[in-house]
Amino acid sequence: MTDCADSDCQARACNDGSLCTTGETCTGTTCGGGTATVCNTPSTTCFAAVGTCAAATGQCTYAALPNTTACSDGDACTTSDLCDGNGACAGTGVVCGAPPGACFAAGVCQAGTGTCSFAVMTGSSCSDTNNCTLADACAADGGCVPGAPVTCTPAACMVFTPNDCEVNGTCRFTPASNTTACDGGTCNGTGTCITSPFDAGVDAGVDAGVDAGVDAGVTCGGPGQACCAANACTGGGCCASGTCVASGQANPASATSVCFGGSLVACGTNGAPCCANNGCGGSANACCVHSICVTDGMTCGSASLGVCSRRGCLNDSCGDNGQTCCGGDPNNNSGAADFCTIAGRSCAASNSQCTTCGGAGQPCCDGNVCTGGGCCNRATSTCTAAAAACPSSLGTCTNGGCSGGTCGRLGQPPCASGVACTGPYAVAPSDGGVCTACGGLGQTCCPAVSGGWCGAPFACGNANVCQRCGGAGEMCCPGATCGSTRVCSAANVCN
């Protein structure tokens, strides 16, 4: 270093001892002048624009800006860049959000543009939102291609709604309504097919010799009369120990059998004919539906009659003692009589309720029958006890007929004053106006509170005559019921 104290050093280069200046010269005895280092190139925008040069090193230092100072880190994939107080600039990374579909990978931000891109996962599994297709796969355009469809075949009384499967692709079935017909019965609304025992009973009767017997007038073959030749009885009746019993009536020789369509059959069990007075084997939870026993929980022959509960149909709301009578014909075609579902009850004309029948002063039972040899007063549908006085001065009720047993019985003239025929008989003008058997196959329907009454397994049809019911193409049995898997149509025909 030149010593500026010497006079010969004037204007010569010297060193003032600071690395922050260059080109110093001696001026007088002082070394000075030269060019100072300019500090204006901070490494980031998060340092002060003008720094300070350190004399000992000649290096510039810059003060860091506060962490509230906005900056730019040069990355388009960050936002809200701020200085960190130590000279660095940092921002918040762009969030790409959800992919545009299940077949796209997670988004990646492009630094040059700050926008997100989503790669297509071609061939990857996906879901086309239809759970009833399997092995759905992603296509090159990002769409989901459906896989093979699931085959769903519902069981009886279950329903499959198209495209309605579980998430894992298994079929989802729901119970059919309780009005849906199923194989041999009606669905119960919880997925079970309830086979109506009524169907089996009707079919058995339809196929069991209901045409047996000959029309032998009033001398034989009618209810209570001697059997005709070859043990024949008219109207589908049965010969029991030499005496004819009408179809649907009890076998006087056995409490456990009844006449049913020309044959004496066991009674009282589920699906079998009812025993005497609508009895079903003494069960406290059974319904007698048009002479067929139906146990608790089974359908009463048709959807319109519902389920037998305790002793009444429609879930114990009709047919039981004191309840409203069950409707005999929901289709209003055949005019079938309303009915009750327990032993010893009939539908009272006064209030259409099920009332104890057959005794003195009580309503006549089905078929205009009174117990103990009583007489049915057709004008009021009430019973007069045996040996008691018939109404309207018609004398004593004897053996089921008034005037001492001389009117109202089979083969006799009808009693006066509307009492008419006093048992299961009807006035037949073609037979000279006498009381003839009614309620059997081919016979006049017995008068009833509503409509006409026929013994099982027959129904009151055209021209007020009892005819077959329940078979294919035949009229529906009372209660719109049919045998086997057949269904009663609106035209009252079993199809």
Q: What is the pLDDT of residues 420-472, one digit of tens each?
A: 998 888 876 666 678 888 888 888 888 776 667 887 778 888 788 888 887 77
Length of the chain equals: 495
Residue type, 479: G
| Residue spans of beta strands (DSSP E) within 348-451 | 354-356, 375-377, 382-384, 425-428, 434-437, 446-447
Task: Mark whether 170 and 223 lie in a shared domain.
Answer: no
* The two structure tokens encoding residue 464: 């007020």
Residue 181: inside a domain, yes or no? Answer: yes
Task: Mark whether 248 and 183 lie in a shared domain.
Answer: no
Task: Mark whether 188 and 236 lie in a shared domain.
Answer: no
Query: Residue 212: pLDDT band by 50, 70, 90 thresholds?
Result: very low
Task: Mark whether 189 and 276 lie in a shared domain.
Answer: no
The predicted structure's pLDDT at residue 194: 64
Range of the domain at 21: 1-30
Task: Mark whether 179 and 215 lie in a shared domain.
Answer: no
Residue 410: inside a domain, yes or no? Answer: no
Burial class, 56, CB count within 10 angstroms (exposed 0-12 / middle 13-18 / buried 19+): exposed
Provide the mean pLDDT of the chain.
Answer: 82
Task: Please give the Cα distance from 171 to 2 (Å, whole number).
Answer: 103
| Arithmetic mean of pLDDT, 164-188 | 80
Task: Mark whether 364 and 236 lie in a shared domain.
Answer: yes
Task: Please give the Cα distance from 273 to 336 (Å, whole number).
Answer: 18
Residue 451: inside a domain, yes or no? Answer: yes
The predicted structure's pLDDT at residue 268: 82
Q: What is the pLDDT of residues 89-98, one digit of tens each?
A: 999 999 999 9
Residue 105: inside a domain, yes or no? Answer: no
Task: Please give the Cα distance from 364 to 347 (Å, whole number).
Answer: 9
The predicted structure's pLDDT at residue 333: 43
pTM exceeding the 0.85 threshold for the entire prediction = no
Q: What is the pLDDT of residues 279-309, one digit of tens each?
A: 776 566 788 887 788 888 887 877 778 888 8
| Domain count of the fold of the chain | 3
Burial class, 393, CB count within 10 angstroms (exposed 0-12 / middle 13-18 / buried 19+): exposed
| Arithmetic mean of pLDDT, 256-282 | 79
| Arithmetic mean of pLDDT, 310-320 | 86
Residue 251: inside a domain, yes or no? Answer: yes
Whether the CA torsion 345, 348, 353, 356 is positive or negative: it is negative
Task: Mark whether 265 and 279 lie in a shared domain.
Answer: yes
Task: Mark whether 245 and 175 lie in a shared domain.
Answer: no
Task: Mark whether 306 and 210 lie in a shared domain.
Answer: yes
From its phi and psi, is residue 206 left (phi > 0), alpha (psi between -120 and 50) or beta? alpha
Task: Mark whether 313 and 173 lie in a shared domain.
Answer: no
| Arithmetic mean of pLDDT, 146-162 | 91
Task: Mark whether 227 and 303 lie in a shared domain.
Answer: yes
Residue 76: inside a domain, yes or no? Answer: no
The predicted structure's pLDDT at residue 217: 44
Task: Please give the Cα distance from 490 to 495 (Å, whole number).
Answer: 11
Task: Please give the Cα distance from 441 to 205 (Å, whole number).
Answer: 12
Residue 171: inside a domain, yes or no? Answer: yes
Task: Mark whether 332 and 440 lie in a shared domain.
Answer: yes
Helices (H) and strands (E) in the chain, counts: 3, 36
